[in-house]
């Protein structure tokens, strides 16, 4: 597969001209492990932190897109290998626990299987929909090819109502 079937739709790629984002190595290791374990489906989950320390903890969520696809293939034309839909109980529990500790969900992550690390038209539609639970969160996308992590990218909205900008990611030790 060379494409996610989103030809002609908008997508956001990494802008190599922008500075990289540093993400702690232990968070990236958790992310990569989740992406491999979830194959052939995409993984998804949340990063919890604060404005000062954005990447404190990674929490996995269940991707229930395959279930939605089976129940309503018109509304949900793709299954979990091509798209993600976070289980709402999972993300609500993460959100509650984070807020109880004075933290919040700073980023939402998911994987792509057999396509690159970009925000697809469908990712953007989900992130910008009224039902998306974390409109202020950043996005992290990890691309998996041949059961190996190929690349990872970080996306942040450039101000309210603005488009996302994509950056490369480097690991840090902290």
Task: Give the footprint of Zn ion on this chain (CB under 5 A).
Answer: 120, 123
Q: How far is the CB of 83 from Zn ion (least distance, A)?
A: 7
Q: Determine the straight-line distance between the first and last CA of the chain, rounded to whole angstroms.
A: 36
Q: How far is the CB of 19 from Zn ion (least distance, A)?
A: 23
Contact 62, 90 (CB under 8 A): yes
Nearest to 127 by CA among 152, 157, 154: 157
Nearest to 107 by CA among 167, 57, 155, 47: 47
Looking at the Cβ atoms of 106 and 120, the one nearer to Zn ion is 120
Q: How far is the CB of 141 from Zn ion (least distance, A)?
A: 6
Q: Could you write out the DSSP letters of every residue in 6-33?
A: -TTS--B-B-TTSPPEEEEHHHHHHHHH
132: phi then psi, degrees, rounded to nearest 5: -70, 125
Looking at the Cβ atoms of 55 and 155, the one nearer to Zn ion is 155
Q: How far is the CB of 112 from Zn ion (least distance, A)?
A: 5
Looking at the Cβ atoms of 6 and 172, the one nearer to Zn ion is 6
């Amino acid at each position: 597969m060379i494409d996610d079937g989103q030809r002609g739709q908008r997508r956001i790629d990494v802008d190599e001209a922008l500075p990289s984002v540093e993400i702690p190595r232990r968070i990236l290791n958790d992310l990569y492990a989740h992406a491999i374990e979830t194959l052939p489906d995409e993984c998804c989950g949340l990063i919890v932190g604060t404005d000062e320390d954005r990447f404190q903890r990674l929490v996995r969520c269940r991707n229930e897109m395959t279930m939605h696809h089976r129940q309503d293939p018109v509304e949900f034309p793709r299954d979990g290998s091509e798209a993600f839909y976070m289980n709402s109980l999972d993300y609500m529990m993460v959100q509650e626990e984070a807020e109880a500790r004075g933290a919040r969900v700073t980023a939402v992550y998911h994987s792509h299987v057999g396509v690159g690390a970009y925000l697809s038209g469908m990712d953007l539609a989900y992130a910008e929909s009224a039902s998306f639970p974390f409109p202020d969160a950043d996005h992290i996308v990890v691309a998996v090819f041949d059961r190996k992590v190929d690349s990872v990218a970080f996306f942040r909205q450039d101000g309210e109502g603005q488009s996302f900008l994509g950056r490369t990611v480097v690991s840090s030790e902290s």
